Amino acid sequence: MSILLELDLTVPLLEAPPQDPLTAALARRRLMLRDVVEGLRIAARDPDVVGLVAHVGGHSPTLAQVQEIRSAVREFAATGRPTVAWAETFGEFGPGTVPYYLATGFDEIWLQPSGDVGLTGVVAEAIFVKDAFAKLGVQPQLSQRHEYKNAADMFLTNEMTDAHREAAGRLAASAMEQIVEGVASSRRLEPARVRELVDQAPITGSDAVDAGLVDRLGYRDEVYHSLRQRLGECELRFVHRYRRAKLLEPRQAVRRFAKRPLVAVVHGVGDIHLGRSSRRLWSATSIGADTMGAALRGAVRDPQVRAVVMRLDSPGGSYVASDAIWREVHRVREAGKPVVVSMASVAASGGYYISMGADTIVAEPSTLTGSIGVVGGKAVIRGLLDRLGISRDGVAEGRNAWMFSSYRQYSDAEWARVEAWLDRVYDDFTGKVAADRGLSRAHVEACARGRVWTGADARDRGLVDELGGFERAVDIACSRAGLARDEAQVRVSPRLSMLERMRTPESSEDLSASVARALEPGRLLGPVDVLTQLLGLPPAGVLTAPILYQFR
């Protein structure tokens, strides 16, 4: 029987597969972005698949993920089979720009009669907690390199600085340009007309049909009835279930387990820190330098691995941890194996640091990247503890022994050391960007100073090589390794059983050392760490990009 594929794109998508049983249980029923894209890629070559229908809206994927899905949908639609998106509403009298942009990747859009099109534009918004800190008795002592490294602004000011506003404004403008271009092309409208409609949104369903934003009004049952009338009787199958079934077919299974050249995929999701990756209490997954380093060393030792694709979704974190991973990336290249970075929604600051040494960097147009800068300092919580009736005292040996205490302010000499250290880190970061990317120091300085760029703007400035998603990164990796795409096997590295993932590594060279810890609650149990999490201070380190921008 013919197959009509279904997609539920109303929920966030996972970037990386769960690394342990607990994380797998928490992520049950959530889709991986790669599974969706790969499933559509397989379906495009399968004559049994007659069409694609997707439910959009709700908590949609990020803008960068949407762009990757749209590309896969357009590739499927190019085979001449119908693609239909339906939604109850694109924002229930609220913002729905990103879900609607996703829907425009399909040939036909249905909207429930009671729904709206909340194509209201893009917001790059920041929160400022300076006065809240003052009321709590918390004194932030932070410095940044340089004016665009605005992760510190939320603690030091009550509004955007001129530099902050300039950078945020360009991020919003770049994202809006991409959305307008995509909507105009898909809906056969002039870009100027799309911008007019944005300024009129939210738009009712009937007005959206008249404006050409939506094709038909109808409920879910009417969408599926229309498709079955057009396609005949067909079996409904979710894309991820279809993909799994195809990979388990005897011919595919034999091909899958045959000894073929490998393109190893190394995932990195979350903030960057020293030690092992983990899923931490009150937090998402993280990137440990030991874990990612072991995965990259394993790829070097595996004779089947011919190239490495690093899939990154990280706002950065620790400078020292980022530097350790940067070194491992160079060692993979020194071993003669090309490294290609595929940036997801964000790969900035430390996330850019571990990317810059790759042979090729691929990003989506809306990926947040760059943020080549540094911010550092501490939050002094003495006033807060005094109000709570808590005091601390002690003795110390060494002039700077109290330097990192959250109970005392920096002395003038200690602050001078902080400033000198930030200068050294910034100089090292920008110097390595220049060397790795083949750019002059003057050009890097103009792109750096802590500024965040979209992938499209970063490509124009030489910080990124190409625009595209994971599949494009794999194509480049195969080409650099001298492989035809069809002869290469793409596999998450390392490939370990659940039992191997749970056992204690024998050494740092053991492949099980490249697996994240299931849970590491101890990292967040101290009072300063808890306050850091509650108030939004960068928890991982000085190479942390602002993560306050939301494209809605």
DSSP secondary structure letters along 47-66: TTEEEEEEEE-SSPPPHHHH
Three-state SS at 315: coil
For the chain, the residue count is 552
279 vs 462, which has greater pLDDT?
462
Instruction: Please write the tens of the pLDDT for every residue from 302-330.
Output: 999 999 999 999 999 999 999 999 999 99
Instruction: Please write the tens of the pLDDT for every residue from 71-124.
Output: 999 999 999 999 999 999 998 878 899 999 999 999 999 999 999 999 999 988
| Residue 375: pLDDT over 50 | yes
Rg (CA), the chain: 25
Instruction: Please write the tens of the pLDDT for every residue from 13-42.
Output: 888 776 655 555 555 567 889 999 999 999
Instruction: Please write the tens of the pLDDT for every residue from 342-362.
Output: 999 999 999 999 999 999 999
Measured distance CA(141)–CA(154) in Å, rounded: 12
Residue 382, pLDDT score? 86
Q: What average pLDDT does range 208-230 have in this prediction?
A: 96
Q: Which of 117-126, 206-215, 516-525 has the lowest mean pLDDT?
A: 516-525
Residue 543, pLDDT score? 76
Residue 522, pLDDT score? 45
Measured distance CA(17)–CA(349) in Å, rounded: 24
221 vs 549, which has greater pLDDT?
221
Percent of the chain scored above 70 by pLDDT? Answer: 85
Measured distance CA(496)–CA(477) in Å, rounded: 23
User: Dihedral, CA atoms, 544, 549, 551, 552, nearest 10 degrees?
Assistant: 130
**pLDDT-derived band at 56, boundaries 50, 70, 90:** very high
Residue 527, pLDDT score? 44
Q: Which of 61-65, 87-91, 450-454, 499-503 has the lowest mean pLDDT?
A: 499-503
Q: What average pLDDT does range 283-301 have in this prediction?
A: 88
Number of H helices, E strands in the chain: 22, 22
Three-state SS at 174: helix
**pLDDT-derived band at 150, boundaries 50, 70, 90:** confident
Q: What average pLDDT does range 184-201 have in this prediction?
A: 96
Three-state SS at 190: coil
Token look-up 């050409």 returns 212
Measured distance CA(100)–CA(501) in Å, rounded: 40
Three-state SS at 510: coil
168 bridge partner residues: none
Nearest to 288 by CA among 296, 277, 278, 297: 277
Residue 536, pLDDT score? 43
348 bridge partner residues: 370
Look up residue 59 and give its two tokens: 């908590």
Residue 547, pLDDT score? 53
Strand runs labelled E in 245-355: 262-269, 271-273, 286-288, 305-314, 316-317, 339-348
Q: What is the 3-state secondary structure (H, E, C) of 388-428?
A: CCCCCCCCCCCCCCCCCCCCCCCCHHHHHHHHHHHHHHHHH
Looking at 438-480, list the stretches that DSSP marks H as alpha helix, in order from N- to C-terminal side.
441-447, 455-460, 470-480
| Residue 289: pLDDT over 90 | yes
Contact 467, 346 (CB under 8 A): no
Contact 341, 358 (CB under 8 A): yes
Q: What average pLDDT does range 181-206 have in this prediction?
A: 96
Instruction: Please write the tens of the pLDDT for every residue from 417-468.
Output: 999 999 999 999 999 999 999 999 999 999 999 999 999 999 999 999 999 9
Total-model pTM: 0.89
| Residue 539: pLDDT over 60 | no
Q: What average pLDDT does range 250-261 have in this prediction?
A: 67
Count the Cβ atoms, other than its own, within 10 Å of residue 229.
8
Contacts of 43 (CB under 8 A, 6+ apart): 5, 49, 52, 76, 239, 242
Measured distance CA(15)–CA(166) in Å, rounded: 30
